[in-house]
Amino acid sequence: MTLANTWFFLVALLLTVYVILDGFDLGAGVLYPFIARGEDQKSVVRASIGPVWDGNEVWLVTGAGAIFAAFPMVYAMTFSGFYLAIMLVLFGLILRAVSLEFRHQDSAWAPVWDGAFFLGSLVPALLVGVALGNVIRGVPMDTQGNYIGSFWDLLNPYSLLVGVTGLALLTQHGAAWLSIKAEGDLQERAWKWRKASFWVCAVLAIATSVATIVAVPRASDLVFGRPAGWLFLAVALIGILYTVYAMYMKSSALQSFVGSAIIIIGFAGIAAVGNFPDMVPARGTPPATSLTVERAASGHLTLLVMLILALVFVPIVLLYTALIYKTFWGKTKAADADY
């Protein structure tokens, strides 16, 4: 495994951890207006993610930072080419962060902050999937790796389908989280949403799989043609079966959350195997314009220094992250909202 390939794996890992962690708090924000009734339940939903959401978002910063340093061409192409979409995600995350901070200080503007929390969760949860759809489907690029499509080209049917599937995936993930953290009436409603959104997600995932085989055979051929592809297909299947088992045989919210995390690992792995060795494949332009791992990677020394730093600091981050979750383990009460 070359150093560049190692970094492809690490970037995929960082972004997968991001989806697992920030995924549930984005999902909780999407569900917020639908399942929380009254001030107390609303504050339980907010407080359940209160101590962790900002730490979770750090994995996105780390993932994007790793792309910036390890694969500068990919960073330049995606962040400039997808400029407006990425700015929308950014505005969503800003509004969401501020609404969580201001909401309990400012009852007069409660509807404004509630709306900002919902929209600020919905927009990133949807657009991250749309971006992934485009990266799987491929985009038109010139020989220097510049994106030559328009903003509207990014909103093609396939990418929108991946976006909606991603939204459903995060929503069922968030519902599982709320089923763990909530009590009573709120918990019951979260559990109903957890089951319903799982099946919506399952149907959409099947639709996305079929659409990928039909519209992006390059990716599906790579998945079916590689042992790693079959491995992640198996992981996704195990995650689905385990989630169904947790929901209907065990009635365990925690186990259904673990199942959903396994599904995310499976799906992310399938997407990564379907793209490798491309990071962003070309579509409609010559294959030589594709941004491959080798072409987009930084120099050897940069990658080596980054690897050493990552090996030192990622375990530290994992350690304190685990400590935070341990500290705030258990059910969330309305009174915890002051945090």
Q: Which of these segments, 74-82, 222-230, 286-294, 304-312, binds other proteins (CB under 8 A)? A: 74-82
The reply on whether position 111 binds other proteins by CB under 8 A is no
Which of 87, 254, 288, 304 is close enough to bind other proteins by CB under 8 A? 87
Which of 37, 38, 39, 106 is close enough to bind other proteins by CB under 8 A? 106
278 forms beta bridges with 292
Which of 27, 29, 63, 81 is close enough to bind other proteins by CB under 8 A? 81
Which of 7, 8, 147, 232 is close enough to bind other proteins by CB under 8 A? 147
Which of 34, 38, 40, 80 is close enough to bind other proteins by CB under 8 A? 80
Residue 84 CB, nearest distance to other proteins (Å)? Answer: 6
The Cβ of residue 83 has, within 10 Å, a number of other Cβ atoms equal to: 12
Residues in the interface with other proteins (CB under 8 A) total 26
Kindly tell me the burial class for residue 6, based on how many C-beta atoms sit within 10 Å of its own C-beta (0-12, 13-18, 19 or more): middle
**Through-space distance between the first and last CA atoms of the chain, rounded to whole angstroms:** 45
216 near 137, Cβ under 8 Å? yes
The reply on whether position 324 binds other proteins by CB under 8 A is no
Angle at 129 between CA 10 and CA 36, to 5 degrees: 110
The reply on whether position 76 binds other proteins by CB under 8 A is yes
Residue 277 CB, nearest distance to other proteins (Å)? Answer: 24
Rounded to 10 degrees, the C-alpha dihedral 279/23/100/164 comes to 80
Q: Which of these segments, 102-110, 230-238, 252-260, 311-319, binds other proteins (CB under 8 A)? A: 102-110
Half-sphere exposure of 7 (CA within 13 A, CB side): 33
213 CB-near residues (< 8 Å, 6+ apart): 220
The reply on whether position 192 binds other proteins by CB under 8 A is no
The reply on whether position 285 binds other proteins by CB under 8 A is no
Judged by the rule CB under 8 A, the positions of this chain that interact with other proteins are: 76, 80-81, 83-84, 87, 91, 94-95, 98, 102, 105-106, 108-109, 112, 146-147, 327-333, 336
